[in-house]
Chain A
Amino acid sequence: MRLAVREVLQLSERCFSAAGLPEGSARAAAEAVWWNELYRGSGVTTLQDLLPALSEWDRTALTTSDRTDFVWVVDGSTQPSLVASTPAVDLACAGASHHGVGLVHARTASADETVPMLGYAAYAAAERGLLSVVLATGGTGRPRTVIARPNDPHPLVAERELDTASAAHAALSAVIRRGVCDRQDNPLTQAFFTGAPESEYATAGERLLNRLLGQSVTPSDPESHLDSGFVLLCLDPDHARHSGDLRCVVDRFVDERGAELTRTFRPSEVSDRVGTALAEGVAVEEAVWQDVFDRSSEVLAPEFEGSYRGAGFEINE
C-alpha cells in the first residue's frame, strides 16, 4: 500500500505524542522519520521497529554536564539519539549563529535503534543555512558521519559508514573529556590544529574544516573506546569569525573524495524523490502501516456511550 507524505508525518507525530513526547518534540521527531523515509527509504519501517520502546522515551531525561557559549555536553545516556538530536540541533545552530561555531557532544543509550536517523540532524541544520557534521557511534548499525551543506532546494547530504568511530569523533570526544569550560580555544582548534604547513587552502578556517572533514571519514584506532552518542557540529559560513569560503571546502571534499562516501544525496536527486513521493506516495507494507496506525490512534479518545448524543456537551444538543 502507499501512504501520502502527509500521512507519514501525521502518523509519526501521533505515535510520538502518544508516547508522551511534547508536541514540538513529537513533530521534530516525525520530520526525522520522514527524512529517513525520503533519503533512506526506511522511515516508516524504522518507526514500526521503535514502537515497543517509545514509552520509555523521555525528553526530560536529558541533562547538560558542561557548557560554554558554543559548546554543550549533553547526557542522554538513557535515551535514543533521536530524542537528543532535536535540542542538539537547536543548541548547535544557536551557537553557530552567535559565535560562528556550535558544537554539541551527546551521550546516548547504547541500545539505540535511531542512529541511522541522525542524518536528519545534519540536514535540519543545513536547512537553517549552516554547514553541519554529525559524528555518531554506538547503537544500531555501524559508526557513521553525515555531512550537510545548505543548497537549493534541498541541502546536499553525504554519509559515510565506518568500521570504527571516526577519528574526528574520537578527537573531539577527547577534547570534551578534558573539559571545555575552562579552555579558551575552540574545540575544533584543539582537536584538529596541527601547526603543519598546508597550501591547499588559504585561510585557517578553511584548513581546519578540511582537516575535520578528512578525519570524519577516517576510522579511529580500533583500540580507542568511545561512549555511544554523537557530536553535532554546525558552522555558519557567513559568520564574521570565519574567513575564506567554507561552503567551497565542503563541495570540494564531497567531489574529490566521493569514492570514500557511502552515499551522497544531491539536491536535484532529492527534489526528484520529493516529487515522486508527493505524486505517488511512499510504499509501505500493510502490516507495518497497521502497527503504526494502531499506535498513532492512541492520541484519540476511546468510544463511549455519550458519543452518539453529541459531539460537545451543551454544544450540539
Chain B
Amino acid sequence: MATNRDTDSYDPNQLRDPAELMQPQRLASLKQTRLSFARLLMDKMIEEEWDVRPTRMDLDDRGVGRVVYTIETPERLFSFGIFSHASGDDANTDRIIAEDWDMWGFLCEGRATPELMDAQYEQLPHVREGRATSDILIWTRANRSSRFFGHVVDALAEGHQPDVDFCARGGYLMRSSGYYGNGLNGTKEFKSMDGDHPLGKPYFAQMLTVWLLRIFSYDLADHVAGARSDDAATLDHDIKRYLGTGNSSGIGIVHYLINHPQLLHSWLRAREVALARAKTIDPTPEEIERFRTVLQGAEQWFTDDECDTKDYFVSKDQIAGGLERTERRMDELRREPAETPLWTRLCEWAGDEFDPETEELLHSLLLDVYPEVCAALAESMTVSERSDVVPEMTVGTLESIVTTDYQWALDVDFDAPGAERYFWYRSIDSEEPRLGIRGEHDYEEYGFPVDIARQVQELHADLTTWEQTETVAAFLFEHPEYRDIVERIQTVRDLRYAEIRANPLDADFIPLSFISCLKAIWGIQKAHPKSQGWVRGTFYQGAPLPEDLRTGADSYWLYPSKPRQTERWREQ
C-alpha cells in the first residue's frame, strides 16, 4: 500500500462503507475531531488572536443585571449581550418550554448598545414570537449548574479555590440549552455572511456563543463571590482552563439530522476523508511521539472523568484501558516488518479489539497528529441544501436507486412488534419536539415525517406497479404524497453518508445515538446521558481564555490535565 503525504488526495476505497458508518450505534460512538466546529473556530480565534473583553458589567450582589462582551476580530467587531438572572433551582429544567433561565443572551455584529439591550430584553424570553434584528446572529439561554456554580462561589467567597475533583464531574459552571440563529426569530441568515465573515462557517456563531458563556460563567462566579466577601478569591486561571461550558440537548436533534441529509453527509465525509488520508501516512518518529503524547493525555483525561455513562456509553475506565493498550500495540507494530503503514495496521487492530467508542476516539486522536490533512477539508463542510425533484427521471431508474441505496430501508420489518410504536411531533409550547405512542396518545395527526424507511417502503410498493418507462413527473401527478421522499432520494443520490440507517418509530430506537453524533460534529468533549433522549456534556475544556488568546495560545488544548494544585486546593 502506498503511503500518502499528499494532503489533497485520498483513496476512495479507504472510505468506510455507509453500511458500517451510518448505523446509529456507530454514529453514537463518534468523537470530536479537528474538523469539529468548536475546534475549527478556536483554531481561527487563536490564529487571529481575537480580543475578547467585558465592556459592561452591571450586576447586583446575586449576579443579576446586564453584561456585554466585545469580540474584536481582524475583520469585524461582535458583541455578546447578556441578561443575567438567578432563577432558582426549581426552574432549571433545561427544557425549551421552561419559563425562567439564569441568563438570556445574544451575539450580534457591532456593538450591543443600551438601546439594543433594552429592545432585546423584551423579545428574548419569547421563544416563538420574539423578534431579533438582522444584525443579531444568535439567541441563547443558559442555567447555572446548581451544584458546581454554587460550590465555586462558596469556595471563592471563603477565600480559596474550589474542589477541582468535584467540579470535574460536570466540567462546567453554566449549561446552555438552545441556540436560535440562521434566520430564526429574524436573526441574521447564514447565507448572508460573505466569504470574509469571521463566523461564516457552519455553527461558528453558535460555538463562539458557547465559548463566551464559559467566560461569562467565570466572571459571574468571581463577581458573586466578591460581592459576598471582601476577602473572596478569584477563580484560578488553571481551573478556568480546565473547565468548559455545559450543554444540554434533547430529541430535537433527531429531527435536525433527518431533515439535513446534505449537511450530515458533508460533515461525515470530511471526517472520513481526513481519516482515510491519515491512516495511509507512514509516520516519522516525531509523529509517533506526537501520537503517544495525545494518547497519554486522553488516557489520563478519561481516567479522571467520573461521569456516569449509564448503559448508553462505554465506561470511561474501559476507554482509558483501551488507550493504554493502543500505545503498547503501537510499539509492537513498529517493530514488526510490514509494507502496510503503521496507522493502517493500528486502526485495523483497534477495529478488531475495541468497542466502537474507543475505536472512534483512536481515529480522532490520529487526526490530532495531522492538522494538515484536515485543513483543506474544512471548506468542504459548507454546502448548499438546495434540493429539487428530477421529473424526467424514469420510474425504472428511481426504483433502481431505491433498491440499491435504500435496501436498508426496505429491510426494516414494519410488521415486527414495536416497529411503529412512536410518532414524533412538535408542541405549540415553544415548539418542543416530543414523542407519542401510536394508538395510545393524542396528536398523531401532528406527526412529523421522520420515518424515512417507512416512506421508502410505501414508495417502492407503488413504483413497482408502474411502467418502468414512465417519468417521475407522471408518477407524482398521481401520487403527490411521495413528492417529498422522491425529492429526497433524488437529491442525496450520490451522498453516501446522508442517511442514517435507523427507524425512529421503533420501540427500541434510542435518540441518544443521533444526539451524540451531532454533538461530536459540534465538538463536544465530555458527554454524559441524562436519559436515552437527553444528553448533557461539556464544550471547550482546556480551551484558551481571552488572556491566552491575546498572548498567543497553543493550538492544541484537548484533554487537559487537572491543575497541578488540585490536591492542595482540595485540602482547603
Task: Write the residues of chain A forming the contact surface with B, with a CB cutoff of 8 angstroms.
Answer: 1-7, 22-25, 27-28, 59-60, 62, 64, 72, 86-87, 89-91, 93-95, 97-98, 127-128, 275, 278-281, 293, 297, 299-304, 307-308, 311-313, 315-317
Contacting pair B429 A93 (CB below 8 A): no
Contacting pair B186 A2 (CB below 8 A): yes
- Cβ of B484 < 8 Å from any Cβ of A? yes
Nearest chain B CB to A28's CB is how many angstroms away?
7
The 10 closest A-B pairs by CB, nearest first: A24-B483, A6-B183, A312-B435, A4-B183, A97-B392, A315-B533, A94-B473, A278-B192, A23-B484, A24-B484
Residue interface bits B409-443, CB-to-A below 8 A is 1, else 0: 00000000000000001111101111111000111
Assembly CA distance A1 to B251 (angstroms): 32
Contacting pair B388 A128 (CB below 8 A): yes
Which residue in chain B gives the minimum CB-CB distance to A21? B480
User: Could you jot down 26 A-B contacts, CB within 8 Å?
Assistant: A4-B183, A4-B188, A4-B189, A6-B184, A7-B184, A24-B476, A24-B482, A62-B477, A64-B477, A86-B483, A90-B391, A90-B472, A91-B474, A94-B474, A98-B471, A279-B189, A297-B128, A299-B446, A301-B427, A307-B432, A311-B250, A313-B437, A313-B441, A315-B251, A316-B250, A316-B534
Contacting pair A300 B446 (CB below 8 A): yes
Contacting pair A24 B471 (CB below 8 A): no
Contacting pair A312 B533 (CB below 8 A): yes
Which residue in chain B gives the minimum CB-CB distance to A83? B480
Contacting pair A7 B186 (CB below 8 A): yes
The listed residue (B134, B480, B483, B487) touching A279 by CB distance below 8 A is B134
Residues of chain A within 8 A of B486, CB atoms compared? 24
The listed residue (A27, A90, A98) touching B476 by CB distance below 8 A is A90
Contacting pair B441 A93 (CB below 8 A): no
Contacting pair A94 B391 (CB below 8 A): yes
The listed residue (A1, A87, A94, A128) touching B480 by CB distance below 8 A is A87
Assembly CA distance A4 to B471 (angstroms): 36
Residues of chain A within 8 A of B534, CB atoms compared? 315-316
- Cβ of B191 < 8 Å from any Cβ of A? yes
The listed residue (B131, B189, B473) touching A90 by CB distance below 8 A is B473
Residues of chain B within 8 A of A72, CB atoms compared? 477
Assembly CA distance A4 to B431 (angstroms): 18
Which residue in chain A gives the minimum CB-CB distance to B392? A97
Quick one: which of A23, A27, A60, A303 has the most chain B CB within 10 A?
A23
Which residue in chain B gives the minimum CB-CB distance to A312? B435
Known A23-B483, A90-B476, A91-B391; further 16 A-B contacts with Cβ < 8 A:
A1-B131, A2-B133, A24-B476, A28-B483, A90-B477, A279-B134, A293-B129, A299-B446, A300-B426, A300-B446, A304-B443, A307-B429, A311-B95, A311-B435, A315-B251, A315-B533
Q: Which parts of B526-562 form the interface with A (CB within 8 Å)?
A: 530-534
Assembly CA distance A38 to B540 (angstroms): 41
Which residue in chain B gives the minimum CB-CB distance to A293? B129
Nearest chain A CB to B132's CB is how many angstroms away?
9
Contacting pair A312 B251 (CB below 8 A): yes
Contacting pair A313 B481 (CB below 8 A): no
- Cβ of B19 < 8 Å from any Cβ of A? no
The listed residue (B97, B191, B389, B532) touching A24 by CB distance below 8 A is B389
Residues of chain A within 8 A of B63, CB atoms compared? none
Residues of chain B within 8 A of A22, CB atoms compared? 480-481, 483-484
- Cβ of B200 < 8 Å from any Cβ of A? no
Residues of chain B within 8 A of A275, CB atoms compared? 192
Residues of chain A within 8 A of B511, CB atoms compared? 312, 315
- Cβ of B84 < 8 Å from any Cβ of A? no
Q: Which parts of B475-496 form the interface with A (CB within 8 Å)?
A: 476-477, 480-487
Given A280-B134, A281-B186, A300-B431, A93-B480 contact (CB < 8 Å): no
- Cβ of B326 < 8 Å from any Cβ of A? no
Quick one: which of A3, A95, A311 has the most chain B CB within 10 A?
A311
Assembly CA distance A94 to B388 (angstroms): 13
Assembly CA distance A300 to B363 (angstroms): 41
Contacting pair A93 B473 (CB below 8 A): yes
Residues of chain B within 8 A of A93, CB atoms compared? 391-392, 473
Given A297-B428, A303-B429, A6-B484 contact (CB < 8 Å): no
Residues of chain A within 8 A of B129, CB atoms compared? 293
- Cβ of B449 < 8 Å from any Cβ of A? yes
Assembly CA distance A77 to B187 (angstroms): 41
Contacting pair B429 A24 (CB below 8 A): no
Residues of chain A within 8 A of B436, CB atoms compared? 313
Contacting pair B183 A7 (CB below 8 A): yes
Contacting pair A4 B425 (CB below 8 A): no
Residues of chain A within 8 A of B391, CB atoms compared? 89-91, 93-94, 97
- Cβ of B182 < 8 Å from any Cβ of A? yes
Nearest chain A CB to B395's CB is how many angstroms away?
11
Contacting pair A90 B251 (CB below 8 A): no
Contacting pair B476 A87 (CB below 8 A): yes
Assembly CA distance A278 to B197 (angstroms): 15
Assembly CA distance A302 to B443 (angstroms): 8
Residues of chain B within 8 A of A89, CB atoms compared? 391
Assembly CA distance A241 to B187 (angstroms): 49
Residues of chain B within 8 A of A278, CB atoms compared? 189, 191-192
Contacting pair B473 A91 (CB below 8 A): yes
Nearest chain B CB to A273's CB is how many angstroms away?
13
Given A24-B480, A87-B473, A308-B97, A315-B531 contact (CB < 8 Å): yes
Which residue in chain A gives the minimum CB-CB distance to B440? A313
Residues of chain A within 8 A of B425, CB atoms compared? 300-301
Nearest chain B CB to A295's CB is how many angstroms away?
13
Given A5-B189, A6-B184, A301-B425, A60-B435 contact (CB < 8 Å): no
Assembly CA distance A59 to B477 (angstroms): 9
Nearest chain B CB to A25's CB is how many angstroms away?
5
Assembly CA distance A315 to B436 (angstroms): 10
Assembly CA distance A98 to B394 (angstroms): 10
Residues of chain A within 8 A of B441, CB atoms compared? 313
Contacting pair B184 A4 (CB below 8 A): yes
Which residue in chain A gives the minimum CB-CB distance to B481? A22
Residues of chain A within 8 A of B134, CB atoms compared? 2, 4, 279-281
Assembly CA distance A280 to B434 (angstroms): 33
The listed residue (A94, A279, A312, A313) touching B471 by CB distance below 8 A is A94
Given A300-B426, A316-B533, A24-B487 contact (CB < 8 Å): yes
Nearest chain A CB to B194's CB is how many angstroms away?
9
Residues of chain B within 8 A of A2, CB atoms compared? 133-134, 186
Residues of chain B within 8 A of A317, CB atoms compared? 531
Assembly CA distance A142 to B472 (angstroms): 33
Which residue in chain B gives the minimum CB-CB distance to A27? B484
Assembly CA distance A217 to B60 (angstroms): 71
The listed residue (A28, A64, A97, A303) touching B428 by CB distance below 8 A is A303
Contacting pair A6 B433 (CB below 8 A): no
Contacting pair A313 B435 (CB below 8 A): yes
Residues of chain B within 8 A of A311, CB atoms compared? 95, 250-251, 432-435, 533
Nearest chain B CB to A316's CB is how many angstroms away?
5
Contacting pair B480 A301 (CB below 8 A): no
Residues of chain B within 8 A of A23, CB atoms compared? 449, 483-484
Assembly CA distance A110 to B303 (angstroms): 74
Contacting pair B480 A25 (CB below 8 A): yes
Residues of chain A within 8 A of B426, CB atoms compared? 299-301
Residue interface bits B170-200, CB-to-A below 8 A is 1, else 0: 0000000000001110111101100000000
Assembly CA distance A159 to B294 (angstroms): 64
Residues of chain A within 8 A of B443, CB atoms compared? 301-302, 304
Assembly CA distance A128 to B386 (angstroms): 12
Nearest chain A CB to B205's CB is how many angstroms away?
14
Assembly CA distance A293 to B186 (angstroms): 13
Residues of chain A within 8 A of B133, CB atoms compared? 2
Quick one: which of A7, A24, A28, A297 has the most chain B CB within 10 A?
A24
Nearest chain B CB to A211's CB is how many angstroms away?
26
Assembly CA distance A23 to B511 (angstroms): 24
Contacting pair A301 B392 (CB below 8 A): no
Assembly CA distance A98 to B427 (angstroms): 45
